[in-house]
Structure 1
């Protein structure tokens, strides 16, 4: 790469390398999200240690595919930066500084103070919005179903590290990794009332749990012997849909229990509630995400009033 940015195997004996020696790249920098650090580290392992350049390319394509399909855990997309001074002392507007001011207006008691590291994610916003305008608190984004701007992460977080690492490997890194079949399927999130715009005036209507069709007033009320959770066309599948919903609840309860126990062990006691709110820990965001999904799964299951 260059003398201030490099990665290679350190050899002090002829038979075996000692370690991966890196400097100035994303694996040792804190101003990138965990997804970038993980992707760079795995790619370097495949290229330098395993000598599998094709495997590294396929791995990166898989990461980009999952990112664009919104299959990457939010904890891997959190960026943290230090709040070193007051907002008015910064010469240019920065994402973490503007978010700290936004959080201070919401709740001064829990807002970041000078010296704290401010975690944030980049969410989708109006076309032409600046990056600092799209920064949002990860917990707030999670609780309000705000969609992540995955294209921003691809263009501004992943692109440059990939260009540096794969330039000696690929003839055209941009054509090989940043475009192609693996970038053509993109998940489009359903707008929510919290995202603002015209959705603030939308009225939510109950839908069928099987086919997602909007239920009529008669079907939603459960009149005439029909289920209040399924439309008349899917009513015969009520047992199947209930079993599927129950399995989803059981799976999420198991995941939440595992994460909760992991946090208890880290805290030092398996007999006390988890008090940790460390936003530098990826388990914290996973626990919050699974807890929210579990509440939604319980709400879905509660629509089966006759079971």
Structure 2
């Protein structure tokens, strides 16, 4: 901006902190509609204004150097407040410019480009033209992947610079040269542009379209009963009609079609996306929900994504119910992979938290530092943890454990109830409640019997254990029927069958453990002895831990065999 301003004999304003603090606050906010939250089986068109804020600046010549101030202050012979400083527009000058002034929706006057072209429009035109040139170069050199990646990074950088120009004019707290009149004018004009586009779509009867959601520079248009081909045709017509009502370079671009789609709340939606008419297989596209967020464990995103895909593809709630209940039973029976149940939250430093804060990353760091002061994570590093079972009434923060601790201590069990009721079910309920389904009732229908095998009692006598060690299974290890006697009466009548089944189960577990140990030894390069692995990204580590847990009940199974 300074390179463009200097040849035009402009000197940039340098406001002090006190001047920035005295500037009035922005009054305009972007248009973000509350969507009609439900499941849409019809086509949803997504149309987006291409670089709306930079286009508004260029089209209407909004700049520091072209702004005459608020209409209420024009015509007065005295100085008036303008951004961080003051401004005075002589009445005779205003009379000369009376036919070359544009008024923004919030009452700010700007001169047209025919009188004086602003610095910001000049700068943004250069940036956007350069971006077009770089994108054209990407097409010419698409065979060179390295060059294509570099050019893609450059065009993205140019796009971001253009988009943050508005933020430069509106950042009244930390900005270098804020001017609330310019910033408010850009936002209010963009809002008016989107509102005009929405009104045009809703009032044109031949399209039969209705806008169900709008957000800053985009709108979602519902077409009832339209096929995919008709949706693409109407979407292109809407884009051309809206673009024709706005000055260049303001352009509405038809992006994609969602068929079907779920609009949850503002900035949270998911659907099957078609970007071209020739595209046969849709792409799962989600924004703002748990499938694309990092604040939940991977299991939440996987179960939610699979459930939504079943809803889109089958429209059969019974299939979704069976799938969710199967996943819940895997958790309750301890068959789910721990790798999918690990949270990872950012550590902000020991002095960044308020006193008494219950933050898992901070709690684990305190334990690690108490053992070894060098083990404190870096600021910004993500600390992995899981939630385990504890005695009733214990605060949740005390149930936080490092994954490596759970892998090494077979007495610790993952808290399946917490993962299901607090992590998996709420996101599912937010989606499926829109179609009148109570997801929590699916969990309530599941049996509450958990299979918990104890280790041999002589091992427990030598050391203190948790309460889970003293539970024995209520299921027969052969036929899985409920029993209070280890092996049920029906299987007791077939001792040879029992011996074959139990011996085969023990041998399979030992074989699987042996194969996984070989994998670990090959990975570490040490064939003679196994090195303790600590890589939480390795799936073999968790498989080996699960097999070792299952093998821990081998003495109990052998004890049952000795009874025959």
- State whether TM-score is above 0.5: yes
Q: Which has the higher strand share?
A: 2
Asked if 1 retains the 8 angstrom alpha-carbon contact of 2:510 and 2:551, the reply is yes
Aligned with residue 8 of structure 1, among 271, 276, 281 = 271
1:163 maps to 2:434: no
Shift of 1:160: 1.6
Q: 1:226 is matched with which residue?
A: none
User: In the alignment, is residue 195 of structure 1 matched against residue 466 of structure 2?
Assistant: yes
Question: For residues 375 and 352 of structure 2, what CA distance do their matches in structure 1 show?
Answer: 18
Higher Cα radius of gyration: 2
Is the 8 Å Cα contact of residues 11 and 18 (structure 1) preserved in structure 2? Answer: yes
Residue in structure 2 matching 1:136, options 385, 396, 401: 401
- Relative to structure 1, is the Cα distance of residues 264 and 4 closer, same or farther in structure 2, using a 3 angstrom cutoff? farther
Q: Secondary structure at the match of 1:194?
A: coil
C-alpha distance in structure 1 between counterparts of 2:453 and 2:532, whole Å: 33
- Find out whether 1:75 has 2:339 as its counterpart: yes
Give 1:106-121 correspondences, 5 Å limit.
107-108=371-372, 111=375, 113-115=377-379, 116-121=381-386
Q: 2:546 & 2:368 partners in 1: Cα distance?
A: 20
- Listed as ranges, the matches of 1:1-307 within 5 Å are 1-14=264-277, 16-86=280-350, 88-91=351-354, 92-105=357-370, 107-108=371-372, 111=375, 113-115=377-379, 116-142=381-407, 143-169=409-435, 171-174=436-439, 176-179=441-444, 181-182=445-446, 184-187=447-450, 189=452, 193-195=464-466, 237=495, 243-260=500-517, 267=523, 276-294=533-551, 297=554
The 8 Å contact of residues 453 and 553 in structure 2, kept in 1 or not, is answered as no
Residues of 2 paired with 1:54 and 1:299: CA distance?
Answer: 39
Q: TM-score, normalised by structure 2?
A: 0.41
Q: 1:68 to 1:132 in 2, by over 3 A?
A: same
Distance 1:241 1:50, change over 3 A: closer
Query: Aligned in 2, Cα 1:263/1:81: closer, same or farther, shift over 3 Å?
Result: farther
Question: Which residues of structure 2 form unaligned runs of 5+?
Answer: 1-263, 455-459, 471-476, 487-491
Please list every run of 5 or more consecutive structure 1 residues that lacks an aligned counterpart in the other structure. Answer: 203-208, 215-233
What is the distance in 1 between the residues matched to 2:561 and 2:526?
34
Deviating above 6 A after TM superposition, structure 1's stretches of 4 or more consecutive aligned residues are: 209-214, 268-272, 302-305
State whether residues 46 and 55 of structure 1, in contact with CA within 8 Å, keep that contact through their aligned partners in structure 2. Answer: yes
Q: TM-score, normalised by structure 1?
A: 0.70
Superposition RMSD in Å: 3.9
- What CA deviation, in whole Å up to 9, does each residue of 1:221-267 have, x standing for no partner? xxxxxxxxxxxxx8x95x766654542332123323444465577x4
After superposition, the Cα gap between the structure-2 partners of 1:173 and 1:187, relative to the gap in structure 1 and judged at 3 Å, is: same
Conserved in 1, the CA contact under 8 Å of 2:386 and 2:402? yes
- Equivalent pairs counted in the alignment come to 270
Range 278-287 or range 127-136, more displaced: 278-287
